[in-house]
Amino acid sequence: MSSPATDPRPAAVTRIAGRYLLFHAGAECGEERWSIEGTETGMVVVGEQQTVPPHPFPNRHAWRATLTREWRITGLEIHWTVGGHELRATHAATQAGPHSPAGPMWRVRIEYGGRLREQEGDFPESCEVDFATHLFNTLILARRDFAVGGEHEFPVLRIGPPFMAVTPDRMLYRCVEKGTFASPRGPLPAGRYVVSLTSRGEGQGEDPGYTFWADQDGIVLESYEGLDRARTWMRLVEYRREVS
């Protein structure tokens, strides 16, 4: 998918923004507001998500990700608040020196409760990043093409509560159908995808994953808890495209 946020042509879209409603066990429990904006070197993706009861862990997190023009993530900053506690995490992709045999690395710095935790590991070109927002589904779809029945498996760095640290894994995206789906802009051509983890060890059981609909630009329109489409997880309710 080409980037609608960095098209250099006159009157091109330079920023897209939207709002998701969030659900837990079928009940509305919060929202996320987000934007994707073009820059001279790539894109900046910003989001702020807040969950409230009946979500079992009401919390708020604000985040900011930087990307190349090819939708390759280069950094992620997270400020997470739950109860009276705050956590800040800084993730960054770094390149090895010109004479180093090492490839790109992913480095993490986490500050919580007066303590500092750090991580680092390999970040090869085929690797993706998965974070607790559906905007990261868009980033993954942007780097791949799918026909119905098509699938892509890749290494992934999963980032999420309770410490916003990295857990390496392997992830599989499958396109299971194409059709038309409702959106704030009216019915749109869209695809439905199933996401699952493929690295479960013996005795852990197969990961059934979850499913979502996304438009032709990879913007997630609606997702579901697991594979049951009667249990909405997230729904896009606002969408704006701004032109230069």
Under DSSP, the state recorded for 18 is E
> Is the distance from CB of 173 to CB of 164 less than 8 angstroms?
no
Burial of 83 (0-12, 13-18, 19+ CB in 10 A): exposed
- In this predicted structure, the answer to whether residue 13 has a pLDDT above a threshold of 50 is yes
Alpha carbon distance 7, 70 (integer Å): 12
pLDDT for position 115: 95
pLDDT for position 40: 86
In this predicted structure, which of 13-17, 51-55, 208-212, 221-225 has the lowest mean pLDDT? 13-17
For the segment(s) 13-243, the CATH number from 2.60.40, 3.80.10, 2.50.20, 1.10.3470 is 2.50.20
According to DSSP, the residues that pair with 2 across neighbouring strands are none
Q: What is the pLDDT of residues 167-224, one digit of tens each?
A: 999 999 999 999 999 999 999 999 999 999 997 644 455 678 999 999 999 999 999 9
The domain spans of the chain are 13-243
What is the pTM for the complete model shown? Answer: 0.91
* Model confidence band, residue 36 (pLDDT cutoffs 50, 70, 90): very high
Give the tokens for residue 113: 């409760």
* Model confidence band, residue 83 (pLDDT cutoffs 50, 70, 90): confident
Q: What is the pLDDT of residues 102-144, one digit of tens each?
A: 689 999 999 999 999 999 999 999 999 999 999 999 999 999 9
- Containing 34, the helix (H) or strand (E) segment is strand 27-38
